[in-house]
Structure 1
Amino acid sequence: MVHFVEDGGEQESLAPVTPLFRDRSSDASVAKSHESRERPAQRNVSGALSKSRGQSNRSSSDRHPNDPAPEATSATAESALLRKLRARSLSIREARAVIGAHISDADAQQELIDSFLERGYLDDAALAEQLIYSGTERKGQGRRAIAQTMMQRGISRDVSDAALAALPDDDDDRALDFARSKARSLRSVERQAALRRLAGQLGRRGFPGNVALSAARQALDELE
């Protein structure tokens, strides 16, 4: 089954889902594994896109030149969705919006969605896990920010809650790691001003107020 990776707002190559919550020492081997499987995943979607384009072209060539242009077909909607998925992973809700721009019939929309689900091109549970990995490992975000991202992407509450339930309860550790990485740049700033600034940065990343303030204090204390 093929899954697609999302890194917040950035675009990444399509790749199978990687198990989360591993030892940090294994990051290098995981990255190598991602790289080794990246091209086959891209070829699968690229092949599907080429096939869809070919079907669309044949349909156009079969029409008489004087015939009026027909309403957009499932083939054109499929091509549009495949192009989107080559650039970034999509939730089911996002995919439905792409299809809806080409097909108005609800049954036809659902048929195409079901086809993409069966082929593994859409998977909200896998997307939720990728968003958690991106938020925790790359952005240093807390649960609240990650949950907000999943809601904005159209992932259902049930799916997002299940994914977050598997996330270790380590907000304190991740908040402190982030605070330490930023505290050094605040050496020349007055203590209270630095504390407010650092706690604010942590709060914007979704850490609760008490966690943000405690991590900011400890990181600044360690500089003294």
Structure 2
Amino acid sequence: MVRFADDGGEQGSAEADRGLAPVIPLFGGRIAAPEPALEPEPEVLDVETDAAWHPTWVSGRADDQPPPLDDGGSDENRVGASDLAEKMLLKRLRTRSLSVSEARAFLRDHELDAASTDLILSRMTEFGYLDDTALAEQLVHTAVDRKGQGRQVIAQTLAKRGIPREVADEVLSTLPDDDLDRALEYARTKARSMSALDRDTALRRLAGQLARRGYPANVALTAAKQALDESGGSWGVRFR
């Protein structure tokens, strides 16, 4: 004979606790309602350690803000511009010698501040890329040996290239005082090509060429006369 318990609800609950299937009463009795499923706890985001931040994330703390964007910073931009200008200047110096003044003007076109410009010029001078004295000596050598120029024109050339006055005077002081010899040497190379002219015209032209090369008027005239005399040319007859 089957025995029906009137406490089926309590017995079923106890059996459920032991992992057994609950007893279902056949006649009447209260059926225990199933317990609601537990919802998973929401994931808590650690905004201090997460690498990214999304504007839709909400934090309960008032001081939580998106990390600032890195826009390069003015210091980094300034360093980048300085490096680029230094490379451009170095490229220019590989093709043409510049004075410190010319290099400064070159950097000025790159809109650098004074501190960056001075730093680059100091580095270039330290490594020998900029040397006003060496440049002045080179210019004097070219002017004397290749162009036959006089002291006055050489001084003007040095000034135009931005060579400081004290450096130019020091280099020019090393030149021997032989303007007449150098003027005569140049005049001799030109006198032969003037043999078709009358002597007065040849003398005027030759003296003018020497004057334009920086020789004083008296030196130019003396050298022109001597060169024409030495050339032995048959000067054309001048008709009046």
Structure 2 counterparts to residues 34-183 of structure 1, below 5 A: 70=77, 73-183=81-191
Which secondary structure state, in structure 1, belongs to the residue aligned with residue 231 of structure 2? coil
More helix by share: 1
* 1:213 lines up with 2:221 in the alignment: yes
Task: Report the equivalent of 2:235.
Answer: none
- Quote the Cα distance in structure 2 between the aligned partners of 1:213 and 1:123: 37
| Runs ≥4 residues deviating over 2 A | 66-72
The separation in 2 between residues aligned to 1:208 and 1:169, in whole angstroms, is 13
**Count of aligned pairs:** 161
Q: Which amino acid aligns with 1:213?
A: L
Q: Which residue in 1 is equivalent to 2:32?
A: none
1: distance between equivalents of 2:175 and 2:230? 28
Q: Is the 8 A contact 1:195 1:217 kept in 2?
A: yes
Distance 1:132 1:99 in 2: 26
Does the Cα contact within 8 Å between 2:81 and 2:112 map onto a contact in 1?
A: no
Provide the C-alpha distance between the structure 2 equivalents of 1:67 and 1:154, rounded to a whole number of angstroms: 37
Unaligned ranges ≥5, structure 2: 1-68, 233-240
Q: Distance in 2 between matches of 1:102 and 1:164?
A: 34
Aligned residues of 2:188 and 2:231 also touching (Cα < 8 A): no
**Cα shift readout 1:168-193 (whole Å, capped 9, x = no counterpart):** 11111000000000000000101100
CA contact (8 A) 1:203 1:212 kept: yes
User: Could you tell me how far apart the structure 2 residues matched to 1:139 and 1:112 are?
Assistant: 34
Question: Over residues 117-164 of structure 1, what are the superposed CA-to-partner deviations in whole Å (9 max), with x where a residue is unaligned?
Answer: 000000001101001100001110000011000000000110000000
Quote how far apart the aligned CAs of 1:107 are.
Answer: 1.1
Q: Provide the residue aligned with 1:197 in structure 2.
A: 205
Partners of 1:183 and 1:215 lie apart in 2 by 10
**Cα displacement (A) at 1:103:** 3.7
Higher RCO structure, 1 or 2 (CA under 8 Å, sep 6+): 1
CA deviation after TM superposition for structure 1 residue 222, in Å = 1.1
Shift of 1:98: 1.0
**Superimposed CA distance per residue, residues 44-80 of structure 1 (whole angstroms, 9 cap, x where no aligned partner):** xxxxxxxxxxxxxxxxxxxx9x979946611111111
| 1:89–1:127 CA contact under 8 A, matched in 2 | yes
Give the superposed CA RMSD.
2.0
Instruction: Tell me which structure has the larger Cα radius of gyration.
Output: 2
Asked if the contact 1:179–1:219 (Cα under 8 Å) also holds between the matched residues in 2, the reply is: yes
User: Could you tell me how far apart the structure 2 residues matched to 1:208 and 1:79 are?
Assistant: 44
Identity %: 54
**SS of residue in 2 equivalent to 1:102:** coil
The answer (yes or no) to whether the contact 1:80–1:98 under 8 Å persists in 2 is no
CA distance in 2, matches of 1:74, 1:103: 9
Answer yes or no: is the 8 Å Cα contact 1:103–1:109 preserved in 2: no
Structure 1, gaps ≥5 residues long = 1-63
SS in 2 for 1:167: coil
State the AA in 1 paired with 2:116. A
